[in-house]
Structure 1
């Protein structure tokens, strides 16, 4: 695709893709090591609980810290915050390989959540600063694709390393240190209009919409609810497959891999789809695909149909989430993009955290099939909402790609 080649020739774009790829490591990369870690600390009180908290702990801190990180990115600059976040990510992530006790490892995971919040908010704000219009939408799709494909590769590597030692997967976080020199060279602080300079100008003059807080609030609710529903797949699917007799880990991995790969491929074409369908129909189509996936799960129990449902869920999600980031960056004024990206980051990780809290009691009450049917109904309603709220072409822009001079 020509637009992809254009992005990959720009060091700034490559740097932002590399930074985005770090975020997929925050939770899932140590999942294959959890049984080994629990066995290593079998003498520790509440070892079973603490090892499971190693996965969810970063999400809590990301949800709490992201709004503050967005505000500081607006005030003090995106570049230095991104570089600091990546350095902290590498140190906190790798610490689990050497720390002697499980509580200390858990503490390092909390620090990792702070680092992820800093990286995600500053990286997303930089996307808003570097790109605009159609180019921004295409880049958001390319980023989601990179995150999905990176997650597929990193989880496979983590599984292999965990077979050698449960401590080795923590070293994958060292990728942050490896890319830091390139980020230092490639990322530049964009020229932004400050609130003081903006005095006397309308929000549209700064690249924002007059009613951007209302639009952002709607996006936050939709993105958070999207993650509540979508994360039913990684949190509940292995158990659901077990009730159907598919208790082989390879079958469970196959279904989850299809979700990830379908999400990556659909996000890859997101820019072209959004340019053709608009910013309302694109997420509506994504929600319809996800509703169809849950509908298949409600009706079919054979593994081929479950795999088809996984493809529909992943493909729909790949069309939905880039839209919300793009809308938030489209409507927010330039000096509020850090705040907007921080707010969306909070909604995403809060949705991840709340997903099992929402779905587990419902499954206990209704069973898996009816719960999937309820999820499909909610997604159909969300498709109607996003189509009605956002179905208009983005405001024409004079430039779709802004080049910033690189400085030492």
Structure 2
């Protein structure tokens, strides 16, 4: 049940600040995957360079490595110098470094620009996370976090589809997509304002307790960040290993992967819209139970990928499950951290997500080489099922959210 003040407010997606933060959220997917369709063409274009094959393959994960290293520092900067300055600075750097591949003459220079792009993403994501905590509370914060995951998924679908079309014309052209971020700048400039830390109103007893002890809130963070690392690492099997698995099944790797990822992203975008309802009805433990359960079913279905319909169904289940659990990580981090440390909390959670993505191929490739795709998928399903069981027990043992006030 909403309070009278909340009921008088316009929907969160009509708030200029929310619009600015949703636009910023779409840049996360754009940073890595946009140039994926262009990789074969880029390798052929720079074939005369030493180590062209390796350098070309490093172009996609390079921003993730930079985010992993830069995000904690971006968190300190957000707390010290303000979120708005960091967000606008990050967006400016994004616009300068993202399209650089259009003009740079060698792969080494392009790789350096991709690392700089990752720094910009660290600045944007960290500031964005802190601003969500500063500017929104209760039900509106919950709705916005679900909308952000939807924006990432639907934005990713649009950018990757456009990149595929451009890469078919000329392999450098997908880099031009990064220049679209300049259109975001007026919305973010007008929509985002810093809120003084002392003006942030604690929304719950948990947040008040977190603020009472400067370092007390940090103790649960390693466990939360570690869970996000594992979840992201396993989820990243989809873009890194499913394409090769599809080939072993006799499918056209490029087309099958494109359709599979489109289903995954669309399902995730739709599921994330339910984040607010899930939180109201079954709380964060219930959300974890539902999301991990869907991930378990999805990965358990993948080995039946010889049936094309079941392969796509698995992608849909995995996308929905990941979209349900993703905003819960950020929600708990923002609830734990006091207002003046939300930048650091955002940096920690940003680093943990990209650490999982970056580590995924290094963990999965040896396991697949030894045990095979099907065994790895089944083991992943069992692991997620166990996590869903633990979360379900926590939901049963913990009282449901009080529906007489905003969650």
Q: TM-score, normalised by structure 2?
A: 0.91
- 1:118 equivalent in structure 2: 123
- 1:38 equivalent in structure 2: 43
Structure 1: stretches of 5+ with no match in the other structure: 401-408
* CA distance in 1: counterparts of 2:219 and 2:139, whole angstroms: 23
* CA distance in 2: counterparts of 1:283 and 1:50, whole angstroms: 38
How far apart are 1:384 and its partner, in Å?
3.2
Q: 1:331 aligns with which of 322, 331, 336?
A: 336
- 1:78 equivalent in structure 2: 83
How far apart are 1:191 and its partner, in Å?
2.3
- 1:52 equivalent in structure 2: 57
- 2:171 equivalent in structure 1: 166
* CA distance in 1: counterparts of 2:68 and 2:404, whole angstroms: 33
> Which SS does the other structure have where 2:39 is aligned?
helix
Where do 4+ consecutive residues of structure 1 move more than 3 Å?
2-5, 202-211, 384-400
Structure 1 contact 83–183 (Cα < 8 Å) conserved: yes
Structure 2 contact 63–119 (Cα < 8 Å) conserved: yes
Alignment of 1:62-73 (within 5 A): 62-73=67-78
Quote the RMSD (CA, aligned, Å): 2.4
- 2:346 equivalent in structure 1: 341
Structure 1 contact 15–187 (Cα < 8 Å) conserved: yes
* Count of residue pairs brought into register by the alignment: 394
- 1:87 equivalent in structure 2: 92
Is 152-161 or 174-183 further displaced after alignment?
174-183
- 1:227 equivalent in structure 2: 232
How far apart are 1:65 and its partner, in Å?
0.5
Cα distance per residue 1:82-115 (max 9 Å; x no partner): 0000000010001111111111111100100100
1:255 aligns with 2:248: no
Structure 1 contact 209–331 (Cα < 8 Å) conserved: no
Structure 1 contact 286–320 (Cα < 8 Å) conserved: yes
How far apart are 1:148 and its partner, in Å?
0.1
How far apart are 1:372 and its partner, in Å?
0.6
* CA distance in 1: counterparts of 2:340 and 2:388, whole angstroms: 31
Q: 1:273 aligns with which of 272, 278, 282?
A: 278
Q: 1:183 aligns with which of 188, 193, 197?
A: 188
Q: TM-score, normalised by structure 1?
A: 0.91
Structure 1 contact 228–355 (Cα < 8 Å) conserved: yes
How far apart are 1:274 and its partner, in Å?
1.4
* CA distance in 2: counterparts of 1:172 and 1:95, whole angstroms: 11
> Which SS does the other structure have where 1:183 is aligned?
helix
- 2:309 equivalent in structure 1: 304
Cα distance per residue 1:150-192 (max 9 Å; x no partner): 0000000011111111111111111221211221111111121
Q: Would the alpha carbon gap of residues 60 and 89 (structure 1) be closer, same or farther in structure 2, given more than 3 Å must change?
A: same
> Which SS does the other structure have where 1:188 is aligned?
coil
Structure 2: stretches of 5+ with no match in the other structure: 1-5
Q: 1:205 aligns with which of 204, 208, 215?
A: 208
1:18 aligns with 2:12: no
Cα distance per residue 1:334-392 (max 9 Å; x no partner): 11111111101001001001111111111111111111111011112222344456755
